[in-house]
Copies of this chain bind each other. A is one copy, B any other.
Amino acid sequence: MVRWEPGARERLQAAALDLFATRGFEQTTTAEIAQAVGLTERTFFRHFSDKREVLFFGQEMFVQAFLDGVDAAPMDASPLEVVGSALQSAASFFPDERRSYSRTRQVVIDANPALQERELHKLAGLATSVADALRRRGIGEPGATLAAESGVTVFGIAFAQWISDDEQRSLSAIAAEVLRELQKLTAVIP
């Protein structure tokens, strides 16, 4: 009989991140993660397919947050306004309570080339999904891909700033500012 462990996923995730950050990702085993919160390795595998999955769990919801923001934009919005809406929706996925977790996660990712490649892959997949959504709204190419890739770039820069030391502003505020910087950068000077 399987006993339901309330909050097991969250506890496993917190313990895993702590172990990855202190001992190193490669040096941590799934058995150790489970043991750290008094659970069995079998319970770990009911929640995650492997230890890497702990760091990438929730990816579909993250992509969905972007897509919800695309859908929320009025149909007559410009491609960049749609991207702005997607960025605000995605930013709400990262409330300030999550900043500390995100900081530690980034330290773990930065220390491991294979995790970095997986992260790049995740962001490339996000850009593809957003470009698809923009094309479904009738935005042509190369506009849809340019807007989607620019949105992911803005998100990446804003996110790096959000988790930097001493940063206090919300991800939402930073993303809006980086998007304005992109507009300034590409403005045609008459």
List residues of A whose CB falls within 8 A of some B CB: 78-80, 116-117, 120-121, 124, 142-143, 145-147, 149-150, 153-154, 156-157, 161, 178, 181-183, 185-189
CA distance A120 to B117 in the complex (A): 8
Number of copies of this protein chain within its complex: 2
3 smallest beta-carbon distances between A and B, as pairs? A149-B153, A186-B186, A117-B117
Contacts of A154 in B (CB 8 A): 146
CA distance A149 to B149 in the complex (A): 9
Partner of A188, one of B142, B150, B178, B187: B187
Contacts of A145 in B (CB 8 A): 157
Q: A146-B157, A146-B178 are in contact. Are A80 and B121 (CB under 8 A)?
A: no
Q: A143-B181, A178-B142 are in contact. Are A189 and B78 (CB under 8 A)?
A: yes
Chain B residue at smallest Cβ distance from A140: B181
- Are B186 and A183 in contact (CB-based, < 8 A)? yes
Distance in angstroms from A92 CB to nearest chain B CB is 21
Interface centre among A79, A142, A149, A186 (most CB of B within 10 A): A186
Contacts of A189 in B (CB 8 A): 78
Chain B residue at smallest Cβ distance from A120: B120
CA distance A153 to B156 in the complex (A): 14
Interface centre among A80, A161, A185, A189 (most CB of B within 10 A): A185
Q: Jot down 27 A-B pairs with beta carbons below 8 A, ordered by A.
A: A78-B185, A78-B189, A79-B185, A80-B185, A80-B186, A116-B121, A117-B120, A120-B121, A120-B124, A142-B161, A142-B178, A143-B185, A146-B157, A146-B178, A146-B181, A146-B185, A149-B153, A149-B156, A149-B157, A150-B150, A150-B153, A182-B186, A183-B188, A185-B186, A186-B187, A187-B187, A187-B188
